[in-house]
Amino acid sequence: MAVLVGKKAPQFTAQAVVDGEKFVEEFSLDQYLGKKHVVFFFYPKDFTFVCPTELHAFQEKLAEFEKRNTVVVACSTDTEQSHWGWLQMGKNEGGIKGVTYPIVADTNKTISKNYDVLTGDFFYDENDQLQADGELIAYRGLFLIDKEGIVRHQVVNDLPLGRNVDEALRMVDALQFNEVNGEACPANWNSEKDGLQATHEGIADYLSSH
């Protein structure tokens, strides 16, 4: 698994569905450079079980991300038509109707591969035929990208393990706190707590007061 933290987020241009119904031919995260932080997350499949719980959970907290000048963008290896169809289904049917943030269609699987969250692998057999080892879908990867396009945080869950959206928000808060104040965020930090100066004296003072 590649560690992308500290590196430029892999660039891409792909089809996407935005606002729950609109097709975008050439969607790219580059549109946010210099303007917004980005929470870019992958999920395995449309029309499944854990995935809609995550997509709805991000939608329910979308206003909180927007308050932090942060956009949420989802991605899976399904087609844009599959995304659109799922977006038309109500929650009580297992659909994701009401989700408004962009959902990228990584149909050729290059985005998942470049972010190193693609399960399985490609190979050629003895007859020079292209094969795949396992199902080629995305793990539950999440990447927090700053305004300069640098990955500052990543987490990757196995397929059955849903993520905590509040933790994603906490990491946005931590990044922005560090950017504004220059202080580090210790264990279990949240926006109601102090940061610490990354010096021996600063750590000693923090530990002695907590």
Q: Among all residues, which ones are annotated catalytic?
A: 51
* Residue from 165, 158, 114, 161 nearest 144 by CA: 165
Query: What is the rounded CA–CA span in Å between residue 74 and residue 40?
Result: 6
CA dihedral of 22, 17, 93, 164, whole degrees rounded to 10: -140
- Residue 75 tokens read as 């991605």
State the alpha helices, DSSP H only, in the chain. 50-60, 62-67, 80-87, 110-114, 165-181, 200-208
- Local structure of 92: helix, strand or coil: helix
Residue with tokens 């990757």: 156
Residues 6+ apart with CB under 8 A from 55: 43, 74, 96, 99, 103
Query: What is the rounded CA–CA span in Å between residue 15 and residue 110?
Result: 13
